[in-house]
Amino acid sequence: MPRVEAPDTERELFEHVLDALDTGLLVLDQDRRVAAINDTLARGWGVDREDVMGRPVAEVFDSEAERWYLPERGTRGEQGRATREVRGTVAEREVLMRYSSSGLGDSGAVLIRIEDLVDADSEEEVFRNTERLISLGELSARVAHEIRNPLTGVRTTVQFVASKLRAGDSRRDDLQDVLKELDRIEQIITDLLLFARPQAGRPVPTDLREIAEKVLDNLARRLEDASIEVERDLDEGLPEVTVDPDMAQQVVLNLVINAIQAMPEGGTLKVGAGLRRTRYKKAYVDVVVVDSGSGIPEEVKEKIFDPFFTTRSMGTGLGLSISLQIAREHGGNLTARNLAQGGAAFRFSLPALLTPEIEEGREEK
Ligand code: ADP
């Protein structure tokens, strides 16, 4: 947290401590501009610390509750101890925050402690998910790099030795097998890196309905072989969303493949696409993938979006974490829930690009 008055080394230590806290911390100056924000909150909000410093808080965290951040009146001494709740939009995402605020001496500054931050729609916890995603992401990037370098050396040497052998020499085939295995390792590392640092992609206006259709068409054979009946409920004339089409396809594909794996005995797969408006007058295009499998077991519910978490012997546990990362990077979200009648429903949503025609069409309805 920059701008804390203390000698440099002490200040640095202080900043590290504040950043290491699980609680989000925000300091507003007397003009209600962001004077400091710790790492936990910047990550939870999905904002860049440098970008928000010095900006009016209302510009960063947009809420209908005006002046939510002020300490409660008439509670001097114990002021700001009470935990309150506020809903608002930050970095295009609607969140619900549980927080308390207190005045900082006579400076007019306010200290806000955010204890809990959840996605307003799903009540899905934001803090812990992002934390784990980032730290494991960094870890995998490092591991991938460390392995990739020596691997390139090994590959070059094997290729060189193979080139020295005469055609027809059986050892040549052995070395080809080694090369194939090396390629496999290379592929795993590429996937890991994709997870750790998804390529920026090329976001363009995209029709999610088309993407869903394409995925279902591509998997038609596999669905049939698995005795899965498909119900498509894809609304026509949906607004477009801004997303890299390949990445959006990857998300929908992951969800449908997970659904197939959740129904080893066959069943019904429902794939829907539709427009959803929220209380905050925001609009999202949702792709919902529903299966009739056994649902997500209670004890793993909290973990399914964690990288490397899998309950399948052949799983990598990266599908949902990569998908969540893609959704968030495009200002959207990915949530999961179990259905009362059994089975699981996954919702992939991205902000809708509303056009005046679509807005007008809605008025007429
Ligand atoms: P993987 O498919 O490699 O296991 P994912 O990240 O895609 O990795 O999924 C993580 C875990 O989430 C799965 O191992 C499974 O336990 C659970 N899961 C995902 N989709 C479903 C579903 N449709 N129904 C039940 N459980 C699911």
Residue nearest ligand 1's atom 12 by CA: 304
Query: Which of 18-32, 104-118, 186-200 has the weakest average pLDDT?
Result: 186-200
- Backbone φ and ψ for 178, nearest 5 degrees, come out as -60, -45
Instruction: Indicate the domain borders of the chain.
Output: 8-119, 130-196, 204-364
Residue nearest ligand 1's atom 3 by CA: 315
Q: How far apart are CA 219 and CA 80, in angstroms?
A: 55
Class of domain 8-119: alpha beta
Class of domain 204-364: alpha beta
Q: Check if 54 has its Cβ closer than 6 Å to any atom of ligand 1.
A: no
Quick one: which of 223, 220, 225, 234 has its CA closest to 271? Answer: 234
Looking at per-residue pLDDT, the higher value among 181 and 229 belongs to: 229
For 209, residues 6+ apart whose C-beta sits below 8 A from its C-beta are 234, 235, 236, 238, 273
Distance from Cα 320 to the centre of ligand 1, integer Å: 7
End-to-end CA gap in the chain:
50
Q: Stretch 331-338: mean pLDDT, rounded?
A: 92
The residue written with tokens 């429903």 in the block is 345
Q: Check if 211 has its Cβ closer than 6 Å to any atom of ligand 1.
A: no
Amino acid 142: pLDDT: 66
Stated pTM of the model: 0.57
Amino acid 7: pLDDT: 54
For the cut 90, the answer to whether the pLDDT of residue 131 exceeds it is no
For domain 130-196, the CATH architecture is: Orthogonal Bundle (1.10)
Query: Which of 171-175, 279-283, 332-336 has the weakest average pLDDT?
Result: 279-283
Alpha helices in 219-273 (DSSP H): 220-225, 245-262
Q: How confident is the model at residue 1 (pLDDT cuts 50, 70, 90)?
A: low
- Percent of the chain residues past pLDDT 70, beyond the cut: 84
Quick one: which of 87, 91, 85 has its CA closest to 60? Answer: 91
Residue nearest ligand 1's atom 20 by CA: 258
